[in-house]
Amino acid sequence: MDQAWLIGGLLGLIVVVGLIFWRAAARKKQEGKVTSLKKYRRHAAKLQPCSYCRKKSAPLAFYADQQGKVIGVCRNCKPIAERQELMRM
C-alpha cells in the first residue's frame, strides 16, 4: 500500500513538471513573434553615413533636396545644406 502512494505521487509530480515545461515552451514560441522595442531602438540608433562626406555620425540633420529625396547631413556638412536652401525635415 505504501508503494501505491509513492508511485502515484511520483506520477503526479511527473505530470505537473511536464505541464510546466509544456506551458513554458508554448509561451516561448508565442514570444518569438513579438519584436522587442529595445532591440529596434538599438538598431535604429546605429551610426548613419552623412550624404555629403559619407562619415558615419550619430546626430544627422535631415533635409529634402530639390528632387524631393531625403538626405542626412552631419554637423560639418550642415552649412552646405543650408547654403543650398534645402528644406529641413
What domain count does the chain have?
A: 2
Strand order in the sheet with 70-73: 70-73, 61-64, 87-88
Q: How confident is the model at residue 1 (pLDDT cuts 50, 70, 90)?
A: low
Joined together, the cell numbers standing for residue 39 give 532591440
Cα–Cα distance, 25 to 30 (Å, whole number): 9
Query: Which residue in 42, 63, 44 sits closest to 52, CA to CA?
Result: 63
Looking at residue 15, its pLDDT comes to 92
Are 16 and 56 found together in one domain? no
Residue 11's domain comprises: 1-34
pLDDT digits (tens, 9 = 90+) for 3-58: 888 888 889 999 999 999 889 888 777 666 677 777 667 666 678 899 999 998 88
**pLDDT higher than 70, residue 69:** yes
Global pTM reads 0.48
CB atoms within 10 A of CB 60: 19
How far from chain centre, in Å, is Cα 78?
Answer: 29
Is 51 in the same domain as 23? Answer: no
